[in-house]
Amino acid sequence: MVMPGQAVSKPAVDAVRRFSRFYTRIVGALDQSYLDSPYTLAEGRLLFELSNRDAPTAAALMRDLDLDAGYMSRLVGRLVRRRLVKRTRSATDGREVHLTLTATGRAAFAELDARTRADVAALIAPLSSADQQALVTAMGRVRTLLGDEPDAARAPSPSFVLRPPRSGDLGWVVQRHGELYAREYNWDERFEALVAGVIADFVENFDKQRERCWIAERDGERVGSIFLVRHTEREGVARLRLLLVEPSARGLGIGNKLVDEVIRFARQAGYHTITLWTNDVLISARKIYIAAGFKLTHEEKYENFGKVLTSQTWEMAL
């Protein structure tokens, strides 16, 4: 619905319609069957939802997929008759019906899923890695602008991934640390210089057996970082460095996951201790460290980054 005062241009409407026609052709939405299978596109979507949810109710699927009751009933009925889906009455509310895939339904979805992945891979294979990344970012932006922000309560899988750094990532880490700490804590450019020095040392002295960097990515956009490096003066000790989570991605568990990954790798690499340096004003980060099992070992006041701060050292025995 267009609210009063909102102007929608004809070129914008035409562009969205052109994209819609292009997209429906690409995904085969107008085909009589989905991927030349015995199933329609709607049936394939329902098989996907049931494969990625834990016995949802028919009412929940109807709401989330924006289907009317009559169409939903017919769709489920067809899949039940083909022994792909099983209905189970709720033990706590007789009015609710839970839906699950049968063994036949799981096998059918597995085949559809494999074919879908192969088709999508073939579609984007001609694109360079940079163009693939640009495509993913653009699609995520479209979803966000049109109100399809992932809902943690119904998302079938985590809404972010952790990956190794690629070209441009390390520069992004320096930039975002400088920008966010200036905005949130009013720290000056000396902090950005410190981060740049950490990155430079990581690259120049990288030990692939005992050091790592992880970039958190959500909908094709970088939203976090963390590093694990050798302590140059203490044998068997690793340093956790440059934990960052973008404001738009906080509350999703990204910080906890980044720290968990550091701990997992540190144990695998043979370290006996992880240490980190932080400041007491970084309250959210401190909560993550405490939850992971780090203990405060030292703190002192100092002056840097244009502020009088209290530094803290935290350690964890592995």
* Interior/surface letters 133-165, b for 16+ CB within 10 angstroms, e for the rest: beeeeeebeeeeeeeeebeeeeeeeebbebeeb
Mean pLDDT of all residues in the chain?
Answer: 86
Contacts of 277 (CB under 8 A, 6+ apart): 239, 311, 312, 313
Q: What is the pLDDT of residue 32?
A: 59
User: What angle in degrees, to the nearest 10, is found between the helix axes of 189-204 and 169-185?
Assistant: 160
Q: Within a 10 A sphere around the Cβ of 190, how many other Cβ atoms? A: 11
What pLDDT, on the 0 to 100 scale, is given for residue 251?
Answer: 85
Minimum mean pLDDT among 7-16, 222-231, 248-257, 296-305: which range? 7-16
72 or 295, greater pLDDT:
295
- Whether residue 46 contacts residue 75, with contact meaning beta carbons closer than 8 Å, is answered with yes
Instruction: Decide which of 309 and 69 is more confident.
Output: 309
Query: Who has greater pLDDT, 96 or 276?
Result: 276
> Closest Cα to residue 218, out of 135, 136, 116?
136
Structure tokens at 80: 């039940």
What pLDDT is attached to residue 2?
47
Q: Which residue has the higher pLDDT, 25 or 32?
A: 25
Residue 100 has pLDDT above 70, yes or no: yes
DSSP secondary structure letters along 173-236: HHHHHHHHHHHHH---HHHHHHHHHHHHHHHHT--TTT-EEEEEEETTEEEEEEEEEE-TTSTT
Note the pLDDT of residue 152.
42
pLDDT tens readout for residues 134-184:
787 787 778 777 776 554 444 444 568 899 999 999 999 999 999 999 999
List domains and CATH numbers for the chain: 14-126 (1.10.10.10), 162-317 (3.40.630.30)
Percent of the chain whose predicted confidence (pLDDT) is above 70: 90
pLDDT at 160: 85
Question: pLDDT higher for 255 or 44?
Answer: 255
